[in-house]
Amino acid sequence: MCSPRRDVTAAGIAAISGDLARPRKAGAPLPIPRGCRILAAAFARSRRVARIDDIPEPTRSAVLALPCPPFADQPFLAGPPLSQRRVAIISSAALHPRGTPPFPAGTPEVRMLPADLPAASLLMSHISINFDRTGFQRDINTAYPIDRLRELAAEGVIGGVAATHYAVMGSTDPRTMAATADQIAGQLRQERIDAVLLTPV
């Protein structure tokens, strides 16, 4: 069964072929093929940022009704220059090594991911009817940018990459995750990590 995007892409390619095969006067500029316009419009739509109105009911109303907790203050924390900081990833994509159990729905747990874990051994068990795994399947760095961190470290932009990274289940009530946050913070302090890269999904 073809996906709508695949159908549009096929239509666009067919239109391009027809446009290029159509005879034209000598010296006349080659117009932008109609197929190119079809593809451009399709890809532009596919890259549009999702809005709250895109979420189907009853999920949309549930999201809008979620409380946003106030914070008494937002203290500014100074630290060393970025070029001296060791950086860890905290992802809400519910990543876990192949062969280990997936994240249960609504779990507040954290999974610790060794930095040397091969990308091919990571699976995603994030649960959401609105979540598209296509980007992760094509490039793990969309949810777990470990290669980008290694590149930044090699270029001297950051001081280094942490030995441990962290994954949680994004579709979990934050009010149940206080102990998890403390656990992550404790591990970060133990490994003397100076910064974290948050990768929500």
109 with 43, same domain? no
Only one residue has tokens 């591990």, namely 187
Residue 128 pLDDT > 90, yes or no? no
Domain membership flag for residue 61: no
Residues 96 and 167 in one domain: yes
Considering only residues 146 and 13, tell me which one the structure prediction assigns the higher pLDDT: 146
For residue 10, pLDDT over 80 is answered with: no
Q: Is residue 74 part of a domain?
A: no
Residue 192 shares a structural domain with residue 97: yes
pLDDT of residue 87: 95
- Residues 78-113: tens digit of each pLDDT: 788 999 999 999 999 999 999 999 999 889 999 999
- Which pair of tokens denotes residue 34? 């109609």
How far, in Å, CA of 41 to CA of 45, rounded? 6
DSSP assignment, residue 92?
S
114 or 142: which leads in pLDDT: 114
The answer, yes or no, to whether residue 131 has pLDDT greater than 60, is yes
Residue 146: closest CA among 124, 132, 165, 159:
165
- 118 is a domain residue: yes
**Given this model, what pLDDT does residue 8 score?**
42
Say whether both 191 and 106 belong to one domain. Answer: yes
| pLDDT score of 59 | 81
Between residues 67 and 159, the one the model is more confident about: 159
What is residue 75's predicted lDDT score, i.e. its pLDDT? 64
Task: Tell whether 183 and 93 lie within a shared domain.
Answer: yes
**Are 129 and 192 within one domain?**
yes
Pairing of strands 95-97, 122-124: antiparallel
- pLDDT one-digit tens code per residue, 137-191: 888 898 899 999 999 999 999 999 999 999 999 888 888 999 999 999 999 999 9
Q: Is residue 127 part of a domain?
A: yes
Residue 54 resides in a domain = no
Q: Does residue 68 form part of some domain?
A: no
Looking at residue 5, what is its pLDDT? 42
User: Mind listing the pLDDT tens digit for each residue in 14-59?
Assistant: 444 444 445 555 555 444 445 445 555 555 555 556 678 878 888 8
Structure tokens at 36: 């190119």
How many structural domains is the chain composed of?
2
- Please report which confidence band the pLDDT of residue 11 belongs to, taking 50, 70 and 90 as the band edges: very low
Place of tokens 């399947």: 137
What pLDDT is stored for residue 115 in this prediction? 94
Residue 155: which domain range?
82-199
Same domain, 150 and 89: yes
